């Protein structure tokens, strides 16, 4: 259909894009949207913090609650925690149908090669493997205590096939894996490869809802989400009192909350133990330094 529109309709490329794309509706504060911008016009998940209809712009902050898609991850475009301003034309609503200039160009090439409306043969992409050294390193990474935890034995887990719970989102774990592989002189694996390993039913994300231990209560994983809600609510009231201007410190505050939660989920749990020969890691004696040979 697209090849017919670009060849015989008499419409410009811009008109075809508008005709084949869903119209963007009114945006709400804290709504999750996608933007198509940056190197390679990759798609990134963002949250709305301010809208300027007269200028045709919107202020967004990265949304860490949404996993990035394969295109944005493989491009290597890491998301910045700072707020960014985009044109409304670059914003895409979740689930919206979009048509891109790249698709129009591909339709023109297809028409020139065959004819308008010719059948398009689907292209199958087969994922390849990696060398044994890199595969072994990735396997060890996905069994580390600061990366995953074993699920408890239950009928529900047995039926679902879940074996491990990821302590961080896959996007963040992939970046940690890249750093570890580079430190060991290994070529990092692609996001598509890591996503393919961890998207199976054997893995799920560790949350306060599926954890049966006291860690969620003691470390307050639930409270981190409540803290985000409180910060967003308070800043929302301040926005009303300040005539629509969002406090500049809100994005930075949300980033601090996220970093603290990630620390409590990973490094804190693996370094601090109830009994440890390393003084700084022993929670029972709370020693300040491991300089005394009696505690080594």
Tokens read off for 168: 């961080």
pLDDT at 9: 66
Phi and psi torsions of 4, nearest 5°: -70, -40
Show the tokens assigned to 177.
């894996």
193-204: pLDDT as tens digits:
898 889 888 888
Q: Specify whether the CB–CB gap between 203 and 162 falls below 8 A.
A: yes
Rounded to 5°, the CA angle 119-122-123 comes to 140
Q: Is 285 exposed, middle or buried (0-12, 13-18, 19+ CB in 10 A)?
A: exposed
CB 17 within 8 Å of CB 104: yes
C-beta separation of 58 from 48 below 8 A? yes
Q: What distances in angstroms separate CA 242 from CA 28, 233, 235, 239, one per listed residue?
A: 18, 14, 10, 5
pLDDT at 79 over 50: no
The residues, ordered by sequence, that sit 6+ positions from 265 with a Cβ below 8 Å of its Cβ are: 167, 168, 206, 219, 221
pTM: predicted TM-score of the whole model, two decimal places: 0.40
29 vs 4: which has the higher pLDDT: 29
Kindly report, residue by residue over 13-35, the tens digit of the pLDDT. 888 888 888 888 888 888 888 88
* Among 120, 123, 122, 71, residue whose Cα is nearest residue 92: 71
| pLDDT tens sequence across 213-235 | 555 555 566 677 778 888 888 87
- Tell me the CA distances in angstroms from 4 to 11, 14, 88, 95, 101, one per residue in order: 11, 15, 28, 25, 15
Structure-token match 């804190």, residue found: 268
Question: Domains, the chain, ranges and CATH?
Answer: 2-113 (2.30.30.140), 132-206 (no CATH), 216-295 (no CATH)
């Amino acid at each position: 259909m697209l090849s017919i529109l670009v060849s015989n309709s008499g419409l410009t490329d811009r008109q075809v894009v508008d005709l084949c794309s869903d119209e963007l509706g009114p945006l709400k504060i804290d709504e999750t949207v996608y933007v198509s911008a940056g190197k390679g016009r990759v798609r990134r998940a963002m949250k709305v913090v301010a809208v300027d209809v007269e200028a045709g712009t919107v202020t967004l902050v990265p949304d860490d609650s949404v996993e990035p898609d394969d295109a944005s991850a493989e491009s290597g475009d890491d998301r910045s925690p700072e707020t960014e301003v985009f044109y409304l034309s670059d914003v895409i609503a979740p689930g919206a149908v979009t048509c891109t200039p790249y698709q129009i160009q591909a339709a023109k090439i297809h028409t020139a090669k065959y004819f308008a409306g010719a059948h398009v043969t689907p292209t199958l992409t087969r994922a390849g493997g990696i060398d044994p050294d890199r595969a072994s390193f990735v396997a060890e990474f996905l069994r580390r205590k600061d990366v995953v935890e074993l699920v408890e034995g239950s009928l529900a887990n047995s039926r679902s096939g879940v074996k491990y719970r990821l302590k961080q989102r896959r996007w963040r774990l992939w970046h940690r894996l890249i750093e570890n592989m580079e430190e060991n002189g290994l070529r990092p694996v692609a996001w598509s490869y890591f996503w393919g390993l961890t998207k199976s039913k054997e893995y799920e994300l560790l949350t306060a809802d599926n954890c049966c231990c006291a860690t969620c209560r003691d470390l307050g994983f639930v409270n981190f989400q409540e803290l985000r809600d409180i910060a967003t609510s308070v800043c929302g009231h301040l926005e009303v009192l300040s005539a629509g201007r969002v406090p500049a410190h809100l994005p930075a505050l949300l980033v601090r909350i996220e970093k603290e939660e990630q620390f409590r989920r990973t490094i804190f749990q693996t370094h601090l133990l109830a009994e440890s020969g390393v003084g700084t890691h022993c929670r029972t004696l709370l020693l300040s330094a491991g300089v005394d040979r009696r505690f080594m």
